[in-house]
Amino acid sequence: MKTPSIAMLSFAFVFLFSISWVASADTHEDFLHCLSLHSENSAAISKVIYTPNNPSYLSVLQFSIRNLRFARPTTPKPLVIVTPLHESQIQAAIYCSKEHGMQIRVRSGGHDYEGLSYVSEVPFVIVDLINLRSITVDIENSTAWVQAGATLGELYYRIAEKSKTIGFTAGVCPTVGVGGHFSGGGYGMMSRKHGIAVDNIIDAHLIDVNGRILDRESMGEDLFWAIRGGGGASFGVILAWKIKLIVVPEKVTVFTVNRTLEQNATELVHRWQYIADKFDENLLMRVFIRRANSSQDGKRTLQASFTSLFLGEVDTLLPLMQKSFPELRLAKDDCIEMSWIESILYFAGFPSGESLDVLLNRTSQGGIYFKGKSDYVKQPISEKGLKGSWEMLYDEKLEGVEFLYSPYGGRLSEISESETPFPHRSGNIYNIHYIVFWGEADIATSEWNINWIRRVYSYMTPFVSKSPRAAYFNYRDLDLGVNNKGNTSYTQASIWGVKYFKNNFNRLFSIRNLRFARPTTPKPLVIVTPLHESQIQAAIYCSKEHGMQIRVRSGGHDYEGLSYVSEVPFVIVDLINLRSITVDIENSTAWVQAGATIGELYYRIAEKSKTLGFTAGVCPTVGVGGHFSGGGYGMMSRKHGIAADNIIDAHLIDVNGRILDRESMGEDLFWAIRGGGGASFGVILAWKIKLIVVPEKVTVFTVNRTLEQNATALVHRWQYIADKFDENLLMRVFIRRANSSQDGKRTIQASFTSLFLGEVDTLLPLMQKSFPELRLAKDDCIEMSWIESILYFAGFPSGESLDVLLNRTSQGSAYFKGKSDYVKQPISEKGLKGSWEMLYDEKLEAVEFLYSPYGGRLSEISESETPFPHRAGNIYNIHYVVAWGEADIATSEWNINWIRRVYSYMTPFVSKSPRAAYFNYRDLDLGVNNKGNTSYTQASIWGVKYFKNNFNRLVHVKTKVDPGNFFRNEQSIPPVSSWWKNKGV
């Protein structure tokens, strides 16, 4: 059975590792008793537990504290330290920490820049992996298993013990623990040739929040992706890594060339920036900027140390340097040939001739008080800019300070930003590591030094990466932003998250509506991510046998979270692995599995043809399983109808586990799943769709008008023509807040956003005839292919690769609430203004009204052709959505109540008897089923709003195919009871 997805594990560990708890004075005693009860050998675990009463407690705690800022007497201390000898002892610690409301901090080497592996402001336990450091090197297969408590020095030593021509690419400090270093990236002196450590990890062992030991296969590719650069501590306890070893030459060459300002250091570093990322990939040259004494007059100056590793012999290196960087004047006497393992000692600062055994010493050469920061440089910094930052190093109060410039390029630039969470790839010339350190323990000295490095960081703003200002996760910096002590919103976490991970942060945080991602939200007992239909059949059978509900998720976009939340014991069947797409160009059809996204479908169609497409929604991460079964409105719906109008077959597993197609399921059930919500009737496996012909060129435009630019009159006029335009044209209107171009004050903006299935020269006369008031000009329009229009409406920048459609990660998650309405008569200008005025509320963070036109093909199809009934007579649909960033209940309630007030205000202006709604904009305010059996009368409260008269037929189909109501949720179609059968319903 597959294990929980990355999102579930991440949120589970947020719950365990990041929530503030109130612990009693007896908490640690209860915890110790729990450990004893849940350990295979209580005597054995007692030997690896340290409490403040234990005489060894402080020495164990302080042994791996590298930053003395977090070793003061006032620093919060753990209630218990566990130094496990076996995995089962970690499992017990996780279980007991959950039971007794304590956080867990995991320490492998103790080098976290902000002490987060051994400090917390709430009651906590340290799991110190110092005893789990075995290393098994397999020379024959060039791999190794290394436990997370091992250090880099131990790993390098054990590799070199077996071979002189095998090595590994990671950092230079031998006392750094591999558990944290690898999970944050792992840059080192061979990274330009072989990438960083995470690029060479091929398997891992992890204990999840439920105490299960997972490997790559059982954890799944999402979680395996996340722990390789996303920080393992967010997702579980890393036990071990399996790494791919690399071939190193028998001889490598190292050199360190020092140049002071008087020896032309400024010009040399300035020149270095233009070539550092372009050198032969066998060469990596770092630059250290430090204070020094001038050789000319003994006064303070600055020294640039060009420190390099070349994977080859000196006679090969010198011509390369002469060609690429002659200005450095590198001579043969500057260079030293040695083995790769000897170079490890060289860069770690050990004297020549030091025994390799020093790599087995886990003790740092000395703890210091320090603060670090980092930046990425994408454009060379001017000499003036460099000098400006270096001048700050002259401050007499500074005790120790260093800037380190580490080059990128080579293999680092060849790997995609999204290959692992570590995103710092192509386009980065070098990373800057700023560090300041001092020897005095007093708070005033610490504050002065920390404020100094913050001033440096501020000065560097114009010269480094922007949007975001990127940082390296292994140089952790809490100045970038921190989580709340309790629940933290996506918005707050993204302040620091995008700086470390850029767009990968969204995948690390992958739940669509965060209202249903709180720790208090009910979680599934099991998540199944089937690779084959038989695994779904087994899940259905076992869920029935053991009285559990099934929730089916394809893309996770259900507005009310019904595909992944239930208040009764439940199982999620997540179809993420069932997403194959087969396009048949000859017959203009395609089979698409329900776990595929709309983006993946569009991509695969365009891969085969420039003149075929499909009519469905605009958000590329929406899953086709739910979207098609709820209708599937999109930008070509006025020409070709909705997705459900173009489905010609389907595969479904019913309540009895049978796999049915259109013929075997019958026309009633085939009718029901095309707009009636497939989750009420079974598990949709796949759809067969009829592809549509699209022109080689389509035209798009977005015209924005504020209130001061006559927006009210334009939208009012739009209502009279939106459903009557040429069917090749679909023009939506977004209503949003904006700043007035006239006085900068808040105003309302209407964005008229359109797709025309034809060229601009055909469009303009149509617009001049139908909607001259908009004053559309040729310059407003862009001609492009249909598939490019998909990216345009999804909000991607011009020139974005089509490959972005294969990314299943949303561009951002949020807390949100949506509602919908249908408009049958134009709303007066006064009525429009009244609703728009509600958008001015200062408490609102993000809000939008979307008006989507109907008419055309939508009006030609009968209301009863599919369960989707919104056909002739509807001018447009309104989608209201409000979003917010704070996780607290009060903020959620305020926003939800706000959108309810909007909905109430709109009552006189929208459809009546029933007040209709679009099923894909799910809204539990319309009504919900009972937790047990639901009557027809109760379900019809919400059912007729989504389906109008089609609700009765849906109930009959449900009664026929699932009379026991196994497939159910808060808004699923109920089977009719025997009482209602007697009434003839």
Q: Mind telling me the catalytic residues? A: 921
Sheet holding 335-338, edge to edge: 335-338, 252-260, 300-310, 283-293, 400-407, 430-438, 369-377
For residue 704, report the phi and psi dihedrals to the nearest 5 degrees. Answer: -100, 135
Tokens of 86: 């076996």
Dihedral sign, Cα of residue 46, residue 52, residue 55, residue 57: positive
How far apart CA 562 and CA 970 sit, in angstroms, is: 7
Looking from the CA of 589 toward its CB, the CA atoms found within 13 Å total 10
From the number of C-beta atoms within 10 Å of its C-beta (0-12, 13-18, 19+), residue 610 rates as middle
- Considering only CA atoms, which of 841, 857, 704, 833 is closest in space to residue 776? 704
Helix, strand counts (H, E) of the chain: 33, 35
Q: Taking the CA atoms of the chain, what radius of gyration do you get in angstroms? A: 31
Dihedral sign, Cα of residue 154, residue 160, residue 165, residue 166: negative
The CA-CA-CA angle for residues 459, 460, 466, to 5°, reads 130
For residue 198, report the phi and psi dihedrals to the nearest 5 degrees. Answer: -65, -20
How far apart CA 514 and CA 884 sit, in angstroms, is: 10
How far apart CA 559 and CA 419 sit, in angstroms, is: 30
**Percentage helix, strand, coil for the chain under 3-state DSSP, each rounded to 5:** 35, 20, 40
Q: Which H, E and C letters describe 56-116, residue by residue?
A: CHHHHHHHCCCEHHHCCCCCCCCCEEECCCCHHHHHHHHHHHHHCCCEEEEECCCCCCCCC
- Considering only CA atoms, which of 692, 700, 694 is closest in space to residue 755? 700
How far apart CA 921 and CA 878 sit, in angstroms, is: 10
200 with 194: CB under 8 angstroms?
A: yes
737 vs 24, 706, 734, 903, 906, CA distance in Å? 49, 9, 10, 18, 19
How far apart CA 146 and CA 163 sit, in angstroms, is: 16
- Considering only CA atoms, which of 218, 177, 176, 184 is closest in space to residue 201? 184
338 with 254: CB under 8 angstroms?
A: yes
423 with 504: CB under 8 angstroms?
A: yes
- Considering only CA atoms, which of 728, 735, 770 is closest in space to residue 749? 735
3-state secondary structure of 295: coil
Tokens of 278: 């372009």
* Helix ranges restricted to H, 877-930: 889-905
Pairing of β 549-553 and β 570-574:
parallel
The CA-CA-CA angle for residues 604, 807, 374, to 5°, reads 150
Tokens of 320: 């390369």
DSSP-derived secondary structure for 322-340 = HHH-GGG---GGGEEEE-H
How far apart CA 649 and CA 686 sit, in angstroms, is: 9
How far apart CA 188 and CA 185 sit, in angstroms, is: 10
- Considering only CA atoms, which of 787, 952, 930, 947 is closest in space to residue 867? 947
